[in-house]
Amino acid sequence: MVNQALNTEAVGVVADREGLAAILSPLKRKMLESLGRPDSASGLSRRLGVPRQKINYHLRKLEEAGLVELVEQKMRRGCLERIVRVTARAFVVSPEFLEGLAADPETIADDYSSAYLVAAAARMVRQVADQREKSEKAGQRLATFTMESEIAFQSPADFNAFTRELAEKMARLSSKYDRSRSGSSRRFRVVVGAHPAAKKDTGSI
């Protein structure tokens, strides 16, 4: 029997047409969402109200795309029942698949624009997901850190002053700790950005 526990931080990288077609299909998405808890085709059929034959067909496609994996097999009423689960809690599309359509901050001149922020965030998501998958296959832990904060600025002038001061401190820290000339050093990409915090829905207009 295979360990049924799924890493709640797992992120899958979709890098082929089969995988993309799977996450775009409403039924396959429902199946993937339901398979956070291991189940069989019969169990999914009952839970989703879809004929078992149809579920079986789509499960095969999901397995071929690497989005679903076998957990265990057991005999049930004289038949071999396959228990499967989703391979990750979340999925991102690999830039190799998108090719020229992938968001690339290097092509955006204004690095203070929202377009640049979105492109940089998308690049980070794709690269970290890809590196995490490679680290897990190698049995290693990926070194990362995340810092978040919310600040209420009184005026655009305060916002601009904060940005300048933060840029100065980041440049100073980068210069202090950068060891690019060391043969044993490992490069890290540090991304700092800001956007207006989403307002909580209070029901008011």
Q: Are 89 and 34 in contact (CB under 8 A)?
A: no
Block means of pLDDT (10 residues each) for the chain, 205 residues, are 48 80 89 91 94 93 90 82 88 72 80 88 84 86 92 96 96 93 87 88 48
Name the token pair of 132.
């995490």
Q: What is the pLDDT of residue 119?
A: 87
Q: What is the pLDDT of residue 110?
A: 87
Q: What is the pLDDT of residue 3?
A: 43
Tokens 């207006």 found at: 196
Give the domains, in start order, of the chain with CATH numbers. 11-91 (1.10.10.10), 94-177 (no CATH)
Q: What is the pLDDT of residue 96?
A: 67
Q: What is the pLDDT of residue 5?
A: 47
Using a cut of 0.75, tell me whether the model's pTM lies above it. no
